[in-house]
Structure 1
Amino acid sequence: MNKKVFIGRKLKEARMYRGKTIDVLAKETNINKKDIIAFEEEKYKPTLENEMKLSNALNFPKEFFKQADNTKITIENTHIRPECTIPKVEQISYREKLVMAHKLMSFIEGYIQFPETNLPDNLNKNDEIEDLATKVRRYWELGDGIIGNMLTLLEINGIVVSDFNVNKKGALSFSQKQTIQDSTRYFISLGNDKKSACIRNYDLAYELAYIVSAEANIQAKKFSKDEFACAFLLPKETFTKDLKLVNDLEDYIELKKKWIVPISAMILRAYQLGEISYKKYMHLMNEMDKKGWLKKEPLDDNIKATSPILLKKAVEMLLENNIMSKASLILNLEKWGLYIYPDDVEDLLGFKEGKLSEDKKTKGSNVTKVNFKSKKK
């Protein structure tokens, strides 16, 4: 058997995953920066001592750096909001975490059947944004009613949502299109939305706008995500009727309870629909600013959001049905070619710390195929 050797691109992958620059890693390991660059470019291999230093600093098992990827994932595109203020290295880290989440999903798919990506195939780049929003609503059979939970809606239609960033100050939601062979998946990472259902609904509708623009072959920069999110969450006919009952800013609080959408989005939608003038729109936004509502709106703490369950529930099913134990889950991931520590698996799947700690009982290798969720017909 050939001895496994250190793979330079795996070092770069681990470094980016942890959000560390070469300078930072050099300082933490006391390894010359030029040597780290040479390791990543595979000009030469690190010594055993340096391998251990890199493994410890990046918190990856040493086997991670010697195991070629079992699954080739191509990042088709990444959508990060232009107003995002998170440092570049952290943005790269988020991208790598979504790739790792897909690798985990690929492993779990050997046991669990996930919903297929379910998006309309008649999205056209010449369509108006209002028409695109309506097409998606009709395809998903939503009618013109309220969408109380965007997260569940996306998950049952095969769009994977992760919450590993929700406690990260300043983090914004972002999306990524990934492909394994001919199979394409969209992944969304939630931002620091304070677990408010209203904010989360809008953020996910905003990311859905990116997905729709990608499917319709529209340049993301030329597609108003805010306009789509408002049109998708607040359909013209039904929302216009509710606007007839609105006279001042406080009236929007009652509408927020009903539609589970931020007040700022409803005011923007009212302007888009021509129900208020630009002067009225600016007046309402100035009033929100004076009240401090642009930073925190009423009810944000009262209407709590649900958390992603697609990947989390799948692993819980494996454990609860005795298909694997906590220990054998990590062991089987390693056999499959994915060497990461349990705390990273917990982070990516949304488990509480310690959920996947090793236990003494290890199940056998019998495999059961479980149908988690079939594609909606």
Structure 2
Amino acid sequence: MAHARLDWLEEISYKLQESLEFPAVRIPAYSGDIRLLSDEDIEQLADECRKLWGIGYGPITDMLQTLENAGVVTAKCHLGYLKMDGVSRWSGVDDRPYVLIAEDKASPIRNRFDAAHELGHLVLHRNVNIDQAKSDYHLLEAQAHRFASAFLMPSESFPLEIKWPTLDGFLALKNRWKVSIAAMIKRCQDLEIVDSNSATRLWKGRSARGWVKKEPLDDTFEFERPKILSRSLRMLVENSILSKSSLQGILGIPREKLEELCGVEKGYFFNDSNAQVVDIRLRVNAPRTSKVHSTKSTVLDFPKK
């Protein structure tokens, strides 16, 4: 189901890109053997992303916005499968990365880490084929997890704010870094800020406080929302380039799922006040393998954030 939703996401993106210039893709990609990929390599690649995007070493304010600014098309969707946190891939059609985050787990902090985790897959595992992805599944997951941790909590800055690695100390940092206490404990282990005995005490203390399923402050964070598709859709409708009904008809995606993937409110496609728009003709020899695409209309500049 997740990959079917990802197919739909790509279809929507292809259609919108016929009239809009999306942000350029700026995602570094590891091309070596993943079995030879060291933790130091992963840390360096996470650092390379921050340098490439000019975002410094502070906390990431909005993880999904960061991905979209780097050219990643993102969306959120209910998948009906609690063990699935997200899915990502590079498209062979527009050479653009796509990320779909599951909304089944209602935790803004978890969603942020999931998005960083999928970024890790895009950076580290672009050249991994399906068979290798299955055989080395646990290795790939561990690598993406390490990348997410390194990206969200850089070794250059995060350790400097840890006066003392205690649960209360981590709790004090949670609002600023927008990561879970569990993620901070693991990061301190990775960076050898705490030894194995200290880490064990921290994990046991976290469990004793009842923080395993839900941590303090979890309810104070707002969910991050993808913006590129909703902004693109509204821009085309407002400029009479495309109508809501024509987009839904061309793509053939169920209305509820189309609204969910585009990040617009429920019922958005019911109200179509721009049904009369420029003529949309079908291509005779569409170069893509997707369903149906119109001829290119005037390309609109996509505003940068």
- Aligned twin of 1:211: 122
Q: Indicate whether 1:231 and 2:150 are aligned.
A: yes
**Matching residue within 49, 52, 58 for 1:145:** 58
- Aligned twin of 1:19: none
Q: Indicate whether 1:302 and 2:215 are aligned.
A: no
Unaligned runs of 5+ in 2: 280-296
After TM superposition, the structure 1 stretch with the greater mean CA deviation from structure 2, 350-359 or 145-154, is 350-359
Instruction: Please report how far the alpha carbon of residue 186 of structure 1 lies from its aligned counterpart in structure 2 after TM superposition.
Output: 1.9
Instruction: Please report how far the alpha carbon of residue 253 of structure 1 lies from its aligned counterpart in structure 2 after TM superposition.
Output: 0.9
Given that 1:172 and 1:190 are in contact with CA atoms closer than 8 Å, whether structure 2 keeps it comes out as yes
Instruction: Please report how far the alpha carbon of residue 364 of structure 1 lies from its aligned counterpart in structure 2 after TM superposition.
Output: 2.7
CA distance in 2, matches of 1:106, 1:114: 10
- TM-score, normalised to structure 2, is 0.81
CA distance in 2, matches of 1:360, 1:162: 25
The 1:122/1:171 distance shift into structure 2, 3 A limit, reads: closer
- Aligned twin of 1:189: 100
Instruction: Please report how far the alpha carbon of residue 347 of structure 1 lies from its aligned counterpart in structure 2 after TM superposition.
Output: 2.7
Q: Indicate whether 1:118 and 2:8 are aligned.
A: no
| Secondary structure of 1:236's aligned partner | coil
| Secondary structure of 2:91's aligned partner | strand
The CA deviation string for residues 49-105 of structure 1, in whole angstroms up to 9 with x for no partner, is xxxxxxxxxxxxxxxxxxxxxxxxxxxxxxxxxxxxxxxxxxxx1101111111111
- Aligned twin of 2:260: 347
Q: Name which structure has the greater RCO, CA cutoff 8 Å, separation 6+.
A: 2
Q: Indicate whether 1:315 and 2:233 are aligned.
A: yes
**Matching residue within 349, 365, 369 for 2:299:** 369
The 1:171/1:351 distance shift into structure 2, 3 A limit, reads: farther
Instruction: Please report how far the alpha carbon of residue 122 of structure 1 lies from its aligned counterpart in structure 2 after TM superposition.
Output: 7.0
- Aligned twin of 1:27: none
- TM-score, normalised to structure 1, is 0.66
- Aligned twin of 2:244: 326
Instruction: Please report how far the alpha carbon of residue 195 of structure 1 lies from its aligned counterpart in structure 2 after TM superposition.
Output: 4.5
Given that 2:75 and 2:261 are in contact with CA atoms closer than 8 Å, whether structure 1 keeps it comes out as yes
The 1:295/1:142 distance shift into structure 2, 3 A limit, reads: same
Given that 2:76 and 2:101 are in contact with CA atoms closer than 8 Å, whether structure 1 keeps it comes out as yes
Instruction: Please report how far the alpha carbon of residue 350 of structure 1 lies from its aligned counterpart in structure 2 after TM superposition.
Output: 2.3
Alignment length (residue pairs) = 274
Instruction: Please report how far the alpha carbon of residue 193 of structure 1 lies from its aligned counterpart in structure 2 after TM superposition.
Output: 3.8
Amino acid at match of 2:113: Y
Amino acid at match of 2:124: S
| Secondary structure of 1:163's aligned partner | strand
Instruction: Please report how far the alpha carbon of residue 312 of structure 1 lies from its aligned counterpart in structure 2 after TM superposition.
Output: 1.5
The percent identity for this pair of structures is 28
Instruction: Please report how far the alpha carbon of residue 359 of structure 1 lies from its aligned counterpart in structure 2 after TM superposition.
Output: 3.6
Unaligned runs of 5+ in 1: 1-92
How do residues 148-159 of structure 1 correspond to structure 2 at under 5 angstroms? 148-159=61-72
Amino acid at match of 2:267: G
